[in-house]
Amino acid sequence: MKRVTVTVAQFAFLALAALPLQAAEMKDTSGMKPGASKATTQVHNGSGTVKGVDANAGKINLSHGAIPSLNWPAMTMDFQVKDKAVLKGLKPGQNVEFDIAQAGQSQFLITRIAPAARK
């Protein structure tokens, strides 16, 4: 029993003795911004035509053109919106420009949507 106690005490001493060495090896971090290492969410841009709006569910059905940054062809699909307020005033048949960001493994949220600029 004494031998086990001595071994544990030696291990604890060595582990604690290494802590100041680890702290001394750290570089000056005063210039680092908190959260600077967090990955940023990529935003993708698209344009299309509103096919339907479900403001209560926070969804919009769009027939959009190709989105090259996602390797998506033109298609019609439902999108969830990040904020239901962006759906206000949008109507079927209206041309829009929008931004989407990935929100999960295979879910994309519309983060911005607005009527397309007239050309």
- Residue 33: predicted pLDDT: 52
Q: What percent of the chain has a predicted confidence (pLDDT) above 70?
A: 66
Instruction: Please indicate, yes or no, whether the overall pTM of this predicted structure exceeds 0.85.
Output: no
**pLDDT tens-digit readout, 7-63:** 655 656 656 565 554 544 545 555 555 554 455 789 999 999 999 999 999 999 999
CA atoms of 51 and 48, how far apart (whole Å):
9
SS3 label, residue 68:
helix
Residue 61 within any structural domain of the chain: yes
82 falls within a domain:
yes
- Where residue 83 sits, what CATH number does that domain have? 2.40.50.320
108-117: average pLDDT:
95
Work out how many domains the chain is built from and give that number: 1
Domain containing residue 100:
43-115
pLDDT of residue 19: 55
Q: Is residue 2 part of a domain?
A: no
Whether residue 10 lies inside any domain: the answer is no
Residue 51 lies in a domain: yes
